[in-house]
Amino acid sequence: MKKKRIAILGATGSIGKSSLDIICRDSENFEVVLLSGHCCREKLNVISKQFPSAVTVLTSEESGKEKLLKSVLETKPDITINGISGAAGLEPSIAAINAGSHLALANKETIVMAGELVIKLAKEKNINIIPVDSEHSAIFHLLKSFTQDNLISEIILTASGGPFRNKTLQELEKVTLQETLAHPTWNMGQKITIDSASMANKGLEIIEACIFFNMPIDKIKVVIHPQSIVHSMIRLCNGVIYAQLSKPDMRHPIHDAIYFPNTTPSSLEPLNFDCLTLEFFKPDTQKFPMLTFAQEAAKKGALYPCAYNAVNEEAVAAFLNQKIKFTDIPKITEQVLQSDWTGDCMNLETVLEADKKAREISKELVKK
Ligand code: NDP
Ligand code: MG
């Protein structure tokens, strides 16, 4: 059988590492044709030694971004795993679709910023977008069994609740960067780890689900599930709930995405039910208002989701640089979302302009 040619964007990151692990387990069926990193030159060099025929791109270099977009088009991978963090992942996703490559999409920002545009383009080009974000992967694969119209009454996204689930509002005011970076169940990049603590990650994910599965935001629920074993659920119109369970290991959704549409045996350790406790709680939106702001942004649509993502990225960057407190993240977000973010989300230029404008306003607020 012909090997599947695969591109790994963000190969030096956490998703990149998990992707390389999955691909190395089946090197007879996959050939890595493109690898990208941003700042970690040494790490990218080490990875590229394993795959000497792959094109490598360091996007922080001069014209690095353009080189990446061009390399995606030139290498024409069969599948592109997009594990770039943040808004920088959007244009590479579009390049992959334009190159005729199926997209295993971890970069949720692609959907939050310009989901409708990207999905329309993928349909026109007959490209599959397979979500890698664990919740959306779970729902995507569950939905394959229920294709009849009006069967799904709710999508239920699980959230670990992050490290501050049991903290009071007063305690949240004083949390340190180090505490914020200690996620209880998942080992991920810094940005998404902070988003998990503020629940902005779940905010991004309800928007992602709403756009990706074309469901009204009112039908997307969030439940806190600290063990991160149930990855998400769907409730059917007969009231019955279907869930997907596995260990919290991103290699599962990556495996499922790169073998799609087939379900292929995996050598990952299976979930063991001995001594397994599963808990579920209601999320506290008083403590974690990023959830409510995301719901509002999804309801308003247009460029509001893009602005939500941009302000949050800037606020998180400022928190990482210790310029603001953890609790300033939602304060800044709320303020930025008060601007007018109506506009055409089907136009890439308008989307990128909104992203830029939201960042400028956010930076001003950070300075204050
Ligand atoms: P990491 O920070 O671990 O990795 C990010 C990757 O993107 C690195 O390869 C980094 O390069 C590269 N990168 C950073 N900035 C840019 C840029 N401006 N242009 C191009 N490349 C860039 O993040 P994660 O792997 O944790 O997350 C990646 C994406 O996957 C995010 O969208 C996240 O929300 C999503 N995701 C991640 C999960 C996880 O478990 N990690 C779970 C679900 C979704 P370098 O390191 O060389 O600077
Ligand atoms: Mg997720």
Q: What is the pLDDT of residues 198-222, one digit of tens each?
A: 999 999 999 999 999 999 999 999 9
Residue 93, Ramachandran bin (φ over 0: left; ψ between -120 and 50: alpha; else beta): alpha
Q: Per the confidence metrics, is the pTM higher than 0.95?
A: yes
Query: What's the CA-to-centroid distance between 2 and ligand 2, angstroms?
Result: 32
Query: What's the CA-to-centroid distance between 29 and ligand 2, angstroms?
Result: 27
Q: Quick check: helix, strand or coil at residue 308?
A: helix
* Tokens encoding 161: 């609740």
Query: What's the CA-to-centroid distance between 368 and ligand 2, angstroms?
Result: 32
Residue 188 Cβ < 6 Å to ligand 1: yes
- CA angle, 214 then 217 then 223, to 5°: 115
8 A C-beta contact, residue 36 and residue 59: yes
Strands 220-224 and 241-245: unpaired
**Mean pLDDT score of the chain:** 97
Ligand 1 mutation pick, 68, 72, 192, max ligand atoms within 8 A of CB:
192
Whose C-alpha lies nearest to ligand 1, atom 2? 189
In this structure, what DSSP letter does residue 68 have? H
| Closest ligand, as measured to the CA of 108 | 1
The DSSP secondary structure of 29-49, one letter per residue, reads TEEEEEEEESS-HHHHHHHHH
| Closest ligand, as measured to the CA of 64 | 1
Distance, in Å, from the CA atom of 92 to the CA atom of 108, rounded to the nearest integer, reads 13
Residue 15 Cβ < 6 Å to ligand 1: yes
Whose C-alpha lies nearest to ligand 1, atom 18? 88
* Amino acid at residue number 345: C
pLDDT (tens digit, 9 = 90+) per residue, 164-177? 999 999 999 999 99
Query: What's the CA-to-centroid distance between 133 and ligand 2, angstroms?
Result: 5
CA gyration radius for the chain?
Answer: 20
pLDDT (tens digit, 9 = 90+) per residue, 224-283? 999 999 999 999 999 999 999 999 999 999 999 999 999 999 999 999 999 999 999 999
